[in-house]
Amino acid sequence: MRKIILIVLKGAALVLTLAAQRVEAGPLDSPGAQKSLVCSACHGFAGNAPGNAMPILAGMNANYFKKAIKDYAEGKRPSPEMEPYSKYVMQFGLDEIADYFAAQKKPSHAAVKADAKSISRGATLATQCAACHGPKGEGDAERAFPALRGQPTGYLHAQMALFGGDKRKLDDAAADENKKRIFKGLGANDIADLAAYYATLK
Amino acid sequence: MANVSRREFLRASGISLAMLGTGGFPSFAAEAKRKVVVIGGGWGGATAAKYIRLTDPSIEVTLLEPNKEFVSCPFSNLVLAGIESLKNLTMNYNGLRKHGVKIRHEAAIAIEPDKKRIRVGKDNLEYDRLIVSPGIDFQWDQIEGLAQAKDTVLHAWKAGPQTLQLAKQLQSLADGGVAVMTVPPVAYRCPPGPYERASMIAWYLQTKKPKSKLIVLDANKDIVSKAGLFKAVFKDYAANLDYRPSQKVEKIDVGAKEVTTDTGDKVKYDVINLIPPQRAGAIAVEADLVGGDKRWCEVDHVTYESVKQKNIHVVGDATIGLPVPKSGNIANAMGKICATAVASLINDKEPPVIAPGNTCYSWVNDKEAIAVVNAYKIDNGKVVQIEQKLTPGKSEAVAQNSLAWRASIWQDVLA
């Protein structure tokens, strides 16, 4: 009798364990989450950066994430902050971390405040960017082009300043020439309008 | 059921019934709950408490922190220069409560490692694992005359009332007056902190009291962190900043308003900011978590378990032996890594092997900042640095990054 009870209990326990695991799967219950533990200091929990200068990693396409990390590590994208951290991340391999951030939900955009006219001017200017970054700033995961929608204005602004000053280059020579041509036609106000437009896109 | 003991049931199920919630088994749940206590709600302890709950919500976490509010030491040097308010650096612990952390605003009186319990007030608080994040305490006896004068000679090295008092003293300084600040010998909390403070006070004097001077008496033979960057900054303040290395303060005479250094130099002051030599917070010393130096706690580099006491982990400024600075960012990283290790060990799992990282910004005037960033790996069970990078110079962009950093990391610690 005692044995039967224990067998029944073990069966029930298996069900309970499965149920418990499902219920208890915490937000850190993935290898990518654990390997990216240190990132949240700057990029927020689950890649939801609350500040203006750091990019939001939540929902970032995995191909672009991996390319960005490699570019930082090789010094192609100069950044005193990201060069060490990219090498840090690379010690774990990039796949799990990239997949983890890609799977996270982006925050709501309630906090973004921008002038409606600036956004509308940005929308017009953004037609030049659509070939690579998509008509709605959704990026192109296949070609590892980043989504721009919903990124903080400060981050967008800083990256456009780097592009404009030719301090951030594109791998493809023809694309880089095209980028230079576009940025030559953009003044400081245009860049602010573009940042406002993309930051408010969902 | 009567024939099967509770112990056998638990063994057969292989899980903690506490995971099921208190629904059908309130008495079991109470018994099976695994308990972690965290001593100290600073950057390391608050982070650790939160991340244990995030990693395994079935673990009961109690945080002991006497202060009702968290005050950020990072950015408190800006308060001294009058460009930041202490209020903006002050946060409550409600975010941790939302994660289910039980908070008691009391100090741990004593740790009893053999009994795996802590005395708090009249209670004994039991733990399966304990995380101690005690921060630093000051070695008043290292400087003659300081112990008697410690309430009036300000350190302002724990952000809070002393930060405001020192700011007030600097505001009251007559134009033409002399402020003296001292830098303690390594190891101390926040290696670049004294030089950021020197820069911010010098900026304040240059802007508001141009005939005044700040004399920095550094016990170390050179600037301890970001040396090249700070030297360039100090040149901008040549008229208001007198930096003197290898000048260890050994004596203070508050009557004569004078400090004496180990070279016999006597330096008069109108305002003094004496940052004393430091060691791990008292509870760590009393619980024998410190090494032969009686100052700092040696820990395992993967789990942060004390090398001296089993089931007790130490994080933050109190630790020694890792090639990392005593910074808020490192304490935050240690808190997260230690939390996942503790949750793993409590569940009889192998802890993940994760190294910390460090991002450290220093403001040098009202608009610009510099930074150093360190990345690490674990090699043969030890933390090893893989890269250090400094900003090329001061810039407003770095200052903007520091504001994004603080918005993010304060959430990571507390929200």
A189: domain CATH number is 1.10.760.10
Q: B169 near B181, Cβ under 8 Å?
A: no
Residues of A in contact with B14 (CB under 8 A): 13, 17
Nearest to B88 by CA among B105, B71, B110, B101: B71
What is the model's pLDDT at position A110?
55
Domain stop point among A49, A68, A103: A103
Q: Would you call B58 and A24 a contact, using CB atoms and an 8 Å cutoff?
A: yes
CA A125 – CA B372 distance, rounded (Å): 37
Helix axis angle, B227-236 to B193-208, nearest 10°:
10
CATH of domain B141-278: 3.50.50.60
Q: Within this chain, do residues A95 and A136 fall inside the same structural domain, yes or no? A: no
CA A198 – CA A186 distance, rounded (Å): 16
What is the model's pLDDT at position A2?
53
What is the model's pLDDT at position A14?
47
Residues of B in contact with A41 (CB under 8 A): 329, 332-333, 357, 359, 405, 408-409, 412
Nearest to B19 by CA among B59, B72, B46: B59
For the segment A134-141, the average pLDDT, to the nearest whole number, is 96
Using CB atoms within 10 A of its CB, is residue B264 exposed (0-12), middle (13-18) or buried (19+)?
Answer: exposed
Q: Within this chain, do residues A162 and A94 fall inside the same structural domain, yes or no? A: no
CA B374 – CA B397 distance, rounded (Å): 19
Closest in A6, A35, A52 to B4, CB measured: A6
Q: Within this chain, do residues A130 and A190 fall inside the same structural domain, yes or no? A: yes
Prior bond to B187 cis, omega within 30? yes
Closest in A1, A17, A158 to B397, CB measured: A158
Say if B6-137+279-354 and B141-278 have the same CATH topology: yes
Residue A20 forms part of a structural domain: no
* A49: closest chain B residue by CA: B408
Q: Would you call B55 and A26 a contact, using CB atoms and an 8 Å cutoff?
A: yes
For residue B320, the surrounding DSSP H or E stretch is: strand B319-320
Give how far A68 is from chain B: nearest CA, Å: 17
Boundaries of every domain in chain B: 6-137+279-354, 141-278
User: Which of the four pLDDT bands, split at 50, 70 and 90, describes residue B20?
Assistant: very low
Q: A19 near B24, Cβ under 8 Å?
A: no
pLDDT tens figures, B56-70: 999 999 999 999 999
Residues in chain B: 415
What is the model's pLDDT at position A161?
94
For the segment B35-47, the average pLDDT, to the nearest whole number, is 98
Give how far B10 is from chain A: nearest CA, Å: 9
B303 vs A: CB within 8 A: no
Is it the case that residue B28 has pLDDT exceeding 50? Answer: no
Find residue B213's DSSP bridge partners.
B178
Q: Within this chain, do residues A128 and A177 fall inside the same structural domain, yes or no? A: yes
CA B245 – CA B261 distance, rounded (Å): 11
Q: Would you call B371 and A35 a contact, using CB atoms and an 8 Å cutoff?
A: no
B47 vs A: CB within 8 A: no
Q: Would you call B377 and A91 a contact, using CB atoms and an 8 Å cutoff?
A: yes
User: Which of the four pLDDT bands, split at 50, 70 and 90, describes residue B327?
Assistant: very high
What is the model's pLDDT at position A27?
85
Instruction: Name the domain count of chain A.
Output: 2
Closest in B389, B397, B408 to A41, CB measured: B408
Residue B176, token pair as written in the block: 């033409």
Residue A3 forms part of a structural domain: no
Is it the case that residue B19 has pLDDT exceeding 80? Answer: no
B389 vs A: CB within 8 A: yes
CA A59 – CA A65 distance, rounded (Å): 10
pLDDT tens figures, A19-66: 443 335 578 888 999 999 999 999 999 999 999 999 999 999 999 999
For residue B280, the surrounding DSSP H or E stretch is: strand B278-280
Mean of per-residue pLDDT scores for chain B: 93
Residue A18 forms part of a structural domain: no
User: Which of the four pLDDT bands, split at 50, 70 and 90, describes residue B6?
Assistant: very low
B405 vs A: CB within 8 A: yes
What is the model's pLDDT at position A111?
61
3-state secondary structure of B156: coil
Residue A169 forms part of a structural domain: yes
Q: B12 near A10, Cβ under 8 Å?
A: yes
Q: Within this chain, do residues A139 and A182 fall inside the same structural domain, yes or no? A: yes
3-state secondary structure of B290: strand
For the segment B388-400, the average pLDDT, to the nearest whole number, is 97
Q: Would you call B377 and A16 a contact, using CB atoms and an 8 Å cutoff?
A: no
For the segment B230-249, the average pLDDT, to the nearest whole number, is 98
Q: Half-sphere exposure (CA, 13 Å, Cβ side) for B136?
A: 25
The beta strands (E) that lie in B153-230 are given as: 178-183, 213-218
Helix axis angle, A153-164 to B396-414, nearest 10°:
150
**pTM of the entire predicted model:** 0.91
What is the model's pLDDT at position B109?
96
For the segment B351-357, the average pLDDT, to the nearest whole number, is 97
Contacts across the A-B interface (CB distance below 8 Å): 149
Structural domain containing residue A87: 31-103
What is the model's pLDDT at position A29?
82
Find residue B299's DSSP bridge partners.
B306
Residues of B in contact with A57 (CB under 8 A): none
Domain stop point among A54, A73, A103: A103
What is the model's pLDDT at position B334?
98
- The set of residues, in sequence order, having a beta carbon less than 8 Å from that of A182 and lying 6+ positions away, is A128, A129
Nearest to A156 by CA among A133, A124, A127, A131: A133
Least confident of A90-104, A166-180, B137-151, B321-335: A166-180
Least confident of A7-16, A26-35, B114-123: A7-16
Say which residue the tokens 């024939």 belong to: B3
Q: Homologous superfamily of B6-137+279-354 in CATH?
A: FAD/NAD(P)-binding domain (3.50.50.60)
3-state secondary structure of A50: coil
Residue A108 forms part of a structural domain: no
- Which amino acid is located at B7 in the chain? R
Is it the case that residue A16 has pLDDT exceeding 50? Answer: no
For the segment B136-152, the average pLDDT, to the nearest whole number, is 97
Q: Would you call B13 and A158 a contact, using CB atoms and an 8 Å cutoff?
A: no
Q: Within this chain, do residues A124 and A184 fall inside the same structural domain, yes or no? A: yes
Q: What percent of chain B is modeled with pLDDT above 70?
A: 93
Q: B339 near B348, Cβ under 8 Å?
A: no
For the segment B112-136, the average pLDDT, to the nearest whole number, is 97
Q: Within this chain, do residues A120 and A185 fall inside the same structural domain, yes or no? A: yes
Q: What percent of chain B is modeled with pLDDT above 90?
A: 92
pLDDT tens figures, B191-216: 999 999 999 999 999 999 999 999 99
Q: Within this chain, do residues A128 and A85 fall inside the same structural domain, yes or no? A: no
Q: Within this chain, do residues A62 and A131 fall inside the same structural domain, yes or no? A: no
CA B45 – CA A169 distance, rounded (Å): 42
Give how far B64 is from chain A: nearest CA, Å: 23
Residues of B in contact with A20 (CB under 8 A): 15, 19-20
Give how far A145 is from chain B: nearest CA, Å: 24
Residues of B in contact with A158 (CB under 8 A): 397, 400
Residue A29, token pair as written in the block: 């219950």
CA A143 – CA A67 distance, rounded (Å): 10
| Beta carbons within 10 angstroms of residue A2's beta carbon | 10
Q: Is pLDDT larger for residue A29 or for residue B111?
A: B111
CA B63 – CA B58 distance, rounded (Å): 16
Q: Would you call B13 and A38 a contact, using CB atoms and an 8 Å cutoff?
A: no
Q: B287 near B16, Cβ under 8 Å?
A: no
Closest in A13, A84, A158 to B388, CB measured: A84
Q: Within this chain, do residues A120 and A194 fall inside the same structural domain, yes or no? A: yes
Q: Would you call A51 and B389 a contact, using CB atoms and an 8 Å cutoff?
A: no
Q: Would you call B411 and A45 a contact, using CB atoms and an 8 Å cutoff?
A: yes
Domain stop point among A80, A103, A126: A103
| Beta carbons within 10 angstroms of residue B186's beta carbon | 13
Give how far B179 is from chain A: nearest CA, Å: 34
Most A CBs within 10 A among B5, B6, B13, hence the mutation to make, goes to: B13
